Amino acid sequence: MSVSVEEGLALLKRRLVEINDVRSAGAVLGWDQATHMPIGGAASRARQRATLSRLAHQKATDAELGCLLDTLHSQRQGVLEPDSSLVRVARRDFEKASKVPAGFVERASAHQSQSYAAWTRAREENDFAAMVPYLTKSVELSREYAEFFAPFEHVCDPLINEADEGMTVAEIRRIFSELRPALIDMTREIDDQARLDNSCLKGMFNEDQQIAFGLLVVEKIGYDLSRGRLDKTVHPFSTRFSSGDVRITTRVRTDEISESFFSTLHEAGHALYEQGVSEELDGTSLGRGASAGLHESQARLWENIVGRSYPFWEYWYPVLQNRFPGSYADVSLDGFYAAINRVERSLIRTDADEVTYNLHIMMRFDLELEMLEGRLNVKDLPEAWRARMCEDLGIEPETNREGCLQDVHWYAGHIGGAFQGYTIGNVLGAQFYETALQAHPDIPQQLQRGDYSQLLDWLRTEVHQHGRRYQPNELIVRATGKPLHVAPYLKYLCEKFDALYSLPVSKDRSDQLVTVQSNGALPTTGGG
């Protein structure tokens, strides 16, 4: 190869942009399918998306791309940032993609579509038995996928690495083992007390007005509507087509107001991340969020740490009252704040509050490891699910529909690697927020005024703009000075829910935090 470094980089970018264009087209087809597509389009749409996936995979594993990347890697002394990161990341992506044979991609993709279609029926009909063959095959395919990346310490490590690069089963188990006892304790303590009243969230709420209020808030926060839009879907999601087009969706119920609002805020958190990635990275391997956990951290930070905070509603509650006078004229800010933060042992993950949410995640994580390890037979999943619900949350579902059939993830063909990101995100969101607060102590006062500039600027500078330039763990240390650790999150939960419920053992947990912090993290000031 006799191309110069500049020519080589230009060639590389042209190839990467082409792959990205095909993937973005696939994303547009997915968005359209969820938002506007008539039912008659379903069969052809599945095939069209599979075709685009196959073409993208062919181009992403083209031997000429591999040669080009090797050449550029050998010339890396002459390559400046961000191009040197680009070569590194693109080369890693290429090597990963090349390990997976096209035939496997095709088989897995076909299975995923079939399994998903079967699940939509099976969940409706509460028919777990119908899903056993699909789930069994998903476990097999996931194991087969992992084998392409052998050797590994745990069969789930390659699957986790796919979503949260650099994370392992061992590391996640360590984090979860610090969280779980504390969260189980908190849940028990709160359960001994009177429940907070959340009846003000129920009633009749006009759909368009709910959407309009959500849009008002997320635009104020910084979601740029000239580069995005909000639509209604059955399952909320965010999706990126380019730096200039990052869309979100929400689900709206007319008998409850919080679900749509917090979904909108959650997805806007994802979209703020994507809109904040430096534009010069657009269309290349670096031009998107760095991992599932990092993405979730942004979503949960805006949804919960900001969106369920008191100062946030000091600004927005009068606006909400004004827009829904029939529902909120006689409800105090304190009453509304308590309602949106009520803790409750519940069956459905997506309805769970901040305290119990991670317990739902951890049990899914443990169960998927057991299935992958072959220790849990797929047909015994419902029983294992009920046992673990009982142990951690003290309740158990009467139907599988409210149990192991509730989430799409496993049934869309992802066994392993699909759930840990949510809890990593919760933990990381608190870690980012704590660091931002140290840099800008009056962020809460800004929130009271409906001003998000300092917080968003900090996130833009420390997290968003970099896209995939740094590995997730590297980015976390650069932004916060410390690796991922649970102390800020537990501190945040203790302080918040102590104020709402006055937790008897929160003093003990404060001591516990110091132990937790000794695990590689600097001590932080005080407990809840």
Q: Which residues would be at the binding site for its own copies (CB under 8 A)?
A: 17-18, 21-22, 24-26, 28-29, 31-32, 36-45, 47-48, 51-52, 55, 224-229, 231, 241-245, 247, 282-283
Compute the least distance from the CB of residue 275 to its own copies, in Å: 9
Residue 86 and residue 83: Cα distance in Å, rounded? 5
Query: What are the structure tokens assigned to 236, written together?
Result: 């909320």
Taking the least distance from each CB to its own copies, the nearer of 92 and 229 is: 229
Q: What are the φ/ψ torsions at residue 435 (nearest 5 degrees)?
A: -70, -40
CB of 210 to its own copies, least distance (A): 19
**Among residues 1 and 42, whose Cβ is nearest to its own copies?**
42
Of 19, 290, 59, 309, give the one whose Cα is nearest residue 167: 290
Question: Which residue, 74 or 226, has its beta carbon nearer to its own copies?
Answer: 226
Residue 108 beta carbon to its own copies: minimum distance, rounded to whole angstroms: 19
Query: Which residue in 249, 280, 234 sits closest to 27, CA to CA?
Result: 249
Q: Give, for 423, the enclosing helix (H) or strand (E).
A: helix 420-439
Considering the candidates 162, 165, 259, 267, report the single residue annotated as catalytic: 267
The H-assigned helical ranges of 77-153 are 83-98, 102-124, 128-147
Q: How far apart are CA 28 and CA 234, in angstroms?
A: 17
Please provide the size of the chain in residues: 528
Question: How many C-alpha atoms does 107 have within 13 Å on its Cβ side?
Answer: 13
CA 468, CA 27: separation in Å to the nearest integer? 19
Specify the residue, 224 or 495, whose C-beta has the smaller distance to its own copies: 224
Q: Which is nearer to its own copies, 48 or 524 (CB)?
A: 48
Rounded-to-integer distance, Cα 496 and Cα 490, Å: 10
**Residue 47 CB, nearest approach to its own copies (Å):** 6
Q: How far is the CB of 370 from its own copies (least distance, A)?
A: 39
Nearest residue (CB) to its own copies, 61 versus 506: 61
Taking the complex as a whole, the smallest distance from the CB of residue 52 to its own copies amounts, in Å, to 6
- CA-to-CA distance for 282 and 163, rounded, in angstroms? 20
* CB contact burial 442-473 (16+ within 10 A = b; e otherwise): ebbebbbeebbebbbbbbbebbbebbbbbbbb
Distances (CA, A) of 388 to 129, 238, 361: 20, 31, 12
To its own copies, the closest distance from the beta carbon of 244 in angstroms equals 3
| Annotated catalytic residue 280 | no
Nearer to its own copies, 259 or 274 (CB): 274
Contact 379, 400 (CB under 8 A): no
Spatial neighbors of 308 by CB under 8 A, at least 6 apart, are 262, 340, 341, 354
Residues with catalytic annotation?
267
